[in-house]
Structure 1
């Protein structure tokens, strides 16, 4: 199967790493394994069958604590959609699944680099995101 889209460009649109103070840093460093990775995908149509896809990763502590760090990245991808794509469902799959599978290794590397440079060098994401499965879950 050939791709029904082409990636014209990808870039970090916004990146944020916030740790309020040294006390928070030490607390987060000792509790960062409780943090969860969340992903949100938004898209907006451009001209000439192009779409801007914003993949937003957030790594955050869901628990109520005053010592929290905030890590977020918005990774933008510009897609050129093939002329043969006419159905909304097909376009959705390209945006939410196929393009994500292609860009995710680079996105994850950039996000982990930000975390490492923010003082958390031991962070790894053991579980890979299964975009195919997430896409299918939307219909169940």
Structure 2
């Protein structure tokens, strides 16, 4: 199977780490294992069969705690789609699955660096994201 796209560039568009004060930091440090990783993918068509794909990871507390930190990274990938790709579902698979599988290791490393540098060195993401499975669930 040949690739139906080419990644022309990728970069961190935005990243954020917010911990308002020391009390929050201490609370979050003890409680960060309860935080959840969320992923959001959106894309914007550019000219000449190019697409900007934004993959946004958020690591946040879903509980109603007063003390919480917030972490987010927006990773942008510029993708050139081959001329012969015209079907919407083929394009969706490239954006939601193929590109994600290719960029995720680098994105995850950048996001973990943000978390570690924000004072939470023990954070790891145990479960790997299965983009193929997520894509197939979305279809069903």
Residue 84 of structure 1, CA deviation: 1.3
Q: Which runs of 5+ in 2 are unaligned?
A: none
Residue 3 of structure 1, CA deviation: 0.6
Aligned ranges for residues 1-140 of structure 1 at < 5 Å?
A: 1-140=1-140
Supply the RMSD in Å over aligned alpha carbons.
0.4
Residue 12 of structure 1, CA deviation: 0.2
Equivalent-residue separation in structure 1 for 2:104 and 2:121 (angstroms): 20
Q: Which runs of 5+ in 1 are unaligned?
A: none
1:5-31 deviation digits (Å, cap 9, x = unpaired): 000000000000000100000000000
1:10-59 deviation digits (Å, cap 9, x = unpaired): 00000000001000000000000000000000000001000000000000
Equivalent-residue separation in structure 2 for 1:77 and 1:139 (angstroms): 23
Equivalent-residue separation in structure 2 for 1:31 and 1:2 (angstroms): 45
Equivalent-residue separation in structure 1 for 2:58 and 2:44 (angstroms): 20
TM-score, length of structure 2 as denominator length = 0.99
TM-score, length of structure 1 as denominator length = 0.99
- 4+ aligned runs moved over 3 Å, structure 1: none
| Aligned residue pair count | 140
